[in-house]
Chain A
Amino acid sequence: MNILVCVRRVPDTSENEIQLNAEGNDIEREELVYSVNEPDNYAVEEALQIRDRVGGTVTVVTVGGEEDEEVLRRELAMGANQAVLISDDAFMGSDGRGIATILKEFVLKGHYDLILTGVQADDGAAQVGGMLAAMLDYPFASLVNSISVEDGRLQVSREIEGGNREINEIELPCVLSIQTGINEPRYVGMRGIRQVASVPIPTLGAGDVGVNPVTVGQKAARVKRVDYFVPTRSEGAELLCGSRKENAEKVLELVAAKGGLK
C-alpha cells in the first residue's frame, strides 16, 4: 500500500511561551522552537506500521518553506521512504482551501492508496483533510483512532462521546485524519537524523505540482485572519488556595453541590 502523509511544522506548544507580537496580529515567532505537529507524527507512525504489516511505501509531504525540511528529515529518520517539500512564493498566505488545492494536485501526480493527515494542526483549524478528500472525491473519515487493513478497504474506528467506539468501513483510496493516541510514535534520536542527513528531499514549486498560482496564496484565500488576542481573565473561575487537604475537601464539596457525586 502506498501511503501519503501530509505533515506540518508548528511551534512546539510544550516548549514555548506563546506571546502576542507588538502588532497583535500574530504570535511572537522569534526564539520559538518548532517541531512536527503532534497528530501528524501519529499519522506517520500509523503509516509506517501499516507499511510494515502489508508492504508498500510511505511518503511524507509538507507545504511550506526551506525551514520545514527539518520536520521532513525527522519523519525520514522515523522510517518514511521519501519526503517531498512543496514550496513556492505563490503559496504564501494560503488558507485551508489553498493548501488542500496544492495537495490535491500533488496527490494526482502520484499513486497513493491512502492519504493520512493529523486530526488538526496545533495552530490550524482541521480543514485540510476534509477539503482534500472532497476535492479528490475520495471518501473521508476523521478522528480515526485505529485502522485495520482489509482487501481493498479499511476498517477504521473513532471515539465518540462517552468513550464509546464506532467502527466504519471505508473504500480505498481514501483520506483519513488521525487522532493522537492511535499508537505510540517511535523516538527519533540525533543519530537517526544524522543517518538521513544526506537523503535528498526534492522541492516542488507551483509549476512542478501543476497548481495554478491564482487559485492559491493570500489573494485567493477566502478566510482571512482579522484579529488575534489573548482572552482576558473573567469572572466565574474560583482559585482554591488552601492546603492540599482543604482543597481536596473543597473540591469534593463543590462537585457534590453541582450534582457530580451520586
Chain B
Amino acid sequence: MISPFSSANTHDWLVSSRSLFLTIHIVGILCFAYIAAKRLALLVRAERDLRFDHPLTRAGRVVKFWLGQWKHPRYKFAGTLHILIFAGFILLVARTFSVLIGGVNQNSVMPGLPGRVPHFYDIVTDYAATVVFLCMVIAVVRRLVFKPARYAVPPKYGKGRTADAIFLLGLIAILMLADSLFAASHSSQGRPIETLAVLSLPWVLQVALGSASLATLAAVSFTAYLAHELAFYFLLCYRPFGIQFHVETSLFSIYFSKLDRERLKPVRWGVSDERLDQVKSFGVKKFEDFTWKHMLDFYSCADCGRCADHCPANAAGRPLAPRFLTIKARDYAFRHYPVFGKANNNRPLIGDIYSENEIWSCTTCGACEEECPLLVEYIDKIVDLRRGMIDDGQVPQSLQKPLKAIESRGNPYGKMQKKRAEWTKSPEFQRTCDIRILDGKSDADTLYFVDSITSYDDRMQSIGRSTARILSHIGEDFGILGAAEKDSGHEVRRFGEEMLFMALRDHNTDAVKASRTRQIVTADPHAYNALKHDYKDVPPVEHISQVIAREVKSGNIRFNPVEDEDKVFTYHDPCYLGRHNHIYDDPRTVLDAIPGLKRVEMKRSRDRSFCCGGGGLMLFYEPQEEQRMSVLRVRMAAEAGATVIVTACPFCMANIEDAIKVAGMEGKMSVLDLTELVDQHIVRESVAEIEETATCGG
C-alpha cells in the first residue's frame, strides 16, 4: 500500500509536529476513556439483567439490526440517509485509524490488505467520505428547512435539540472534509492524480488546489490533518454527552437486546417467584432500579422520534411519548451522575422526571419497540415503573376498584364468580351448542379459555357464543372452566401488580390442569398472550383465528357469500395478536375466504397497527387525553374506505364500538369480531346447526 505517509511524502511538518499529534492522541484517548468509564460506572450500579446467553443468536441480531440496519428502511428517506452514513462510517473506520496512526508512525501501513486491495480501498473510501459529507449536508438542510414533525420537542418535554443535532452533523461534515482535503493535498504532492476517485470529494478538492505551491500544499495538508485529528477526538469525547452516543453504544445495545420480546421482564432477574417475598422493593422507583441494559438503552437512543411518531398514546394527546421517556432518563443520568463531580441521586423518578399519568398512559401496544432501529425496550420499563408505583400505593382510584374486584371476585367488574358461565345459559344457545363446563365431572380435549370481558360483558358474550358455535361446528371436543376460571391477569401483570397476577396464574394453572384438557383455544388475544408467554405448565394455546384459518384451508369451514356487497371490510390487527404474536395472516386468510367480501387495508396495519386504546384494566383507567385512540382508529378505517371494521379481540371491539358512537359514525361504520363474522357466514349442513343460527345467530 502507498501509505499517505510513505517516505516520498514525508514532510517536515509531519516530523516536526509528531509530538503535537502524539499529545492530541494521548489527551483524546484519555479523555474518552475517562468519560466512558464514568458512563459505565453508572451501569455497574444498576440492577442485574441476564443478557449474556445465546452469543450466536445475539451475533446474528448484530448482523441483522446493526450491520444490516434492518429497521431503517421503515422510514424511507431518513432510513436511506442513515444506511449511507452508517455504511460510510464502517468503510472509513480503517482509513481513519490509518490516518490517525500515521501522524505518529510514518511507516504505518494498513495491515492485512495485500496487492491491489489498498488502492481499491482508497477509491471506495474516497467515495464513502464524499457520500457521508453529502448526507450531512442533506441532513442539515432537512433539519433546518424541512423540519420533519417528529423531531419537534413539545414545550412540556423541554427544549428542542436542533442546534445540538446540527452541531454534531456539522462536525462530521468537517471530519469528512478534513479527511478529503488531507488526501487531496497529499496526493497533489507526489502521487498521480488517478489515485483519487474521480468526482469524489478528495478529487474535487485536488482539482481546486490546482497548481498550488508545495509550501501551500504542505500548509493545507498540515491544517487538514490537524483539523481531522481534532474533529475526530472532539466528536469521540462529545458524543457521550448527547444524541450521538449511539455511535459507540449501538453495537452493544443491539448485541444485548431482548431476545424474547413477548415475555415480560421478571421483577428481579435471578430471583425466583418463591423468593420474591424477600425482595424489599418492587419495580423502578429511583434511577438505579433500572437494569444496566435499560440504562444502556437511555445512552443509545438517537432521538430519531420514530417511537413517538407511532405511539398511539402520543397521538391521542396523552402525556406520554416513548422518546421522552428515554430522553428524560438520559438527561437525568447525565445530570445526577455527571462526568465531573459526584453522583447525587436520591429522588424518586415519579414526581421528578415522570408523572403518574405518563406511566399509566401506555397501553403496552408495542408500536414504539417495533419501530426503534436500536431495539430500545419500552414495555419492560413502563411495567417496572408501574411495579414501583403499585408497591408505593400510587394507583389511581379508577384502577384500585377493578384491581380489588379481581382480587376478591376474579374479574374486574366485581361480578359474582359463580355467574362466570352465565353467558352459556340461554336455552336456545344450549340446545344446539354442545358446551360443557369442565368441573371435574366431564372431560374434553380442548379448553376454551373465555376470560373476564367475554364472560361478563353483555356485548362481548356474543363473541363467546360465536366462538363456541364455531368450535362446535368443526367438531371440536371442548369445554370451559366456568366458575373455576379467573381473569387471566394479563393486564394485572402489565399494570405492575405482579403478586396478584401470580395468584391468578397459579389459580388458573391449577384449574386448567384439573380439566385434563390437551390444548387451549381462546378468542381473547390478551388471554392468548398471557397463557402462551406468562403462564408455565399449561397445554399449548391457540387463538381462534388460527383454528378457523386452518379449518378454512382444510375445507372444513366453508362460507356463504356476503349478503350486502356494498360493504367494505377492513381488518384491525389487535396488538396482542399481531405485533406481540405475529398473527397477521390467519385472520386475513379467513376474511378473504368469504365469497364476495371486499377488503381494504388501513395505512396503519399489520406491525404498524394503531392500538384501539388498550384492554383489560385500561378500560377502567381515565386518561388525560385530547381524544380517544379508538376514535383516531375509526377515522383511519373510514379513510381507507371501509364501512366494517373486523377485529379479533373483545377489547378492540369495546373500544371501537364506543368510538363509532363518539365520532358520530353510527350507520356509516360498524364493527364485528372475526368469530361473529365467521359465525354469520359459515355453511351449516346439519339441521340442528341451521336451527341454531335461526334462533341464536349473531
Question: Could you list which residues of chain A lie within 8 angstroms of chain B, going by C-beta atoms?
Answer: 12, 14-17, 31, 33, 35, 78, 184-192, 194-195, 244
Q: Using A12-B408, A15-B408, A33-B409 as known contacts, say yes or no to A190 and B393 having CB atoms under 8 A apart.
A: no
9 CB < 8 A contacts A-B:
A12-B404, A12-B408, A35-B408, A186-B395, A187-B403, A189-B391, A189-B497, A189-B499, A195-B277
A78 touching B409, Cβ below 8 Å? no
A194 touching B499, Cβ below 8 Å? yes
**Contacting residues, chain B, for A31 (C-beta < 8 A):** 416, 418
B401 touching A187, Cβ below 8 Å? no
Q: Using A33-B414, A190-B500 as known contacts, say yes or no to A14 and B401 having CB atoms under 8 A apart.
A: yes
**Contacting residues, chain A, for B503 (C-beta < 8 A):** 190
A190 touching B397, Cβ below 8 Å? no
CB distance from B483 to the nearest CB of A (A): 11
B499 touching A191, Cβ below 8 Å? yes
A244 touching B661, Cβ below 8 Å? yes
B408 touching A189, Cβ below 8 Å? no
Task: State A244–B661 Cα separation when bound (angstroms).
Answer: 9
Main DSSP-derived SS at the B contact region: helix
B98 CB–A CB distance under 8 Å: no
Task: State A137–B499 Cα separation when bound (angstroms).
Answer: 46
A186 touching B393, Cβ below 8 Å? yes
- Closest chain B residue, CB of each to CB of A17: B416
A35 touching B416, Cβ below 8 Å? no
A187 touching B414, Cβ below 8 Å? no
B457 CB–A CB distance under 8 Å: no
Task: State A194–B391 Cα separation when bound (angstroms).
Answer: 12
CB distance from B389 to the nearest CB of A (A): 8
Question: Could you list which residues of chain B lie within 8 angstroms of chain A, going by C-beta atoms?
Answer: 277, 282, 390-397, 399-401, 403-405, 407-409, 414-416, 418, 497-500, 503, 661
**Contacting residues, chain B, for A189 (C-beta < 8 A):** 390-391, 393, 403, 497, 499-500
Contact of A194 among B277, B390, B396, B418 (CB under 8 A): B277
Task: State A186–B393 Cα separation when bound (angstroms).
Answer: 5
A78 touching B393, Cβ below 8 Å? yes
CB distance from B492 to the nearest CB of A (A): 10
Q: How many A-B residue pairs have CB under 8 A?
A: 61
Q: Using A15-B409, A244-B661 as known contacts, say yes or no to A191 and B395 having CB atoms under 8 A apart.
A: no
A187 touching B400, Cβ below 8 Å? yes
- Closest chain B residue, CB of each to CB of A77: B393
B394 touching A187, Cβ below 8 Å? yes
Task: State A31–B418 Cα separation when bound (angstroms).
Answer: 10
**Contacting residues, chain B, for A186 (C-beta < 8 A):** 392-395
Task: State A184–B401 Cα separation when bound (angstroms).
Answer: 13
A15 touching B397, Cβ below 8 Å? no
CB distance from A67 to the nearest CB of B (A): 14
- Closest chain B residue, CB of each to CB of A33: B408
- Closest chain A residue, CB of each to CB of B395: A187
CB distance from A58 to the nearest CB of B (A): 15
- Closest chain A residue, CB of each to CB of B390: A189
Task: State A16–B407 Cα separation when bound (angstroms).
Answer: 14
Q: Using A15-B408, A33-B409 as known contacts, say yes or no to A191 and B282 having CB atoms under 8 A apart.
A: yes
B393 touching A188, Cβ below 8 Å? yes
CB distance from A71 to the nearest CB of B (A): 12
**Contacting residues, chain A, for B282 (C-beta < 8 A):** 191
**Contacting residues, chain B, for A190 (C-beta < 8 A):** 407, 497, 499-500, 503
Q: Using A189-B499, A191-B282 as known contacts, say yes or no to A14 and B405 having CB atoms under 8 A apart.
A: yes
**Contacting residues, chain B, for A185 (C-beta < 8 A):** 397, 400
CB distance from B272 to the nearest CB of A (A): 16
Task: State A188–B396 Cα separation when bound (angstroms).
Answer: 12
**Contacting residues, chain B, for A15 (C-beta < 8 A):** 404-405, 408-409, 414-415
Task: State A85–B399 Cα separation when bound (angstroms).
Answer: 29
Interface centre among B401, B414, B503 (most CB of A within 10 A): B414
Task: State A224–B352 Cα separation when bound (angstroms).
Answer: 55
Task: State A191–B403 Cα separation when bound (angstroms).
Answer: 13
- Closest chain A residue, CB of each to CB of B497: A189
**Contacting residues, chain B, for A35 (C-beta < 8 A):** 404, 408
6 A-B pairs closest in CB distance:
A186-B393, A15-B414, A187-B395, A190-B499, A191-B499, A33-B408
CB distance from B525 to the nearest CB of A (A): 26
- Closest chain A residue, CB of each to CB of B500: A190
**Contacting residues, chain B, for A184 (C-beta < 8 A):** 396-397
**Contacting residues, chain A, for B397 (C-beta < 8 A):** 184-185
Q: Using A12-B408, A14-B401, A15-B409 as known contacts, say yes or no to A191 and B416 having CB atoms under 8 A apart.
A: no
Contact of A191 among B391, B400, B415 (CB under 8 A): B391
**Contacting residues, chain A, for B409 (C-beta < 8 A):** 15, 33
Task: State A195–B499 Cα separation when bound (angstroms).
Answer: 12
**Contacting residues, chain B, for A192 (C-beta < 8 A):** 391, 393
B499 touching A187, Cβ below 8 Å? no
**Contacting residues, chain B, for A78 (C-beta < 8 A):** 393
**Contacting residues, chain A, for B390 (C-beta < 8 A):** 187, 189
CB distance from B393 to the nearest CB of A (A): 3
CB distance from B51 to the nearest CB of A (A): 27
Task: State A224–B264 Cα separation when bound (angstroms).
Answer: 56
**Contacting residues, chain A, for B500 (C-beta < 8 A):** 189-190
Task: State A14–B405 Cα separation when bound (angstroms).
Answer: 9
Task: State A215–B497 Cα separation when bound (angstroms).
Answer: 46
CB distance from A55 to the nearest CB of B (A): 20
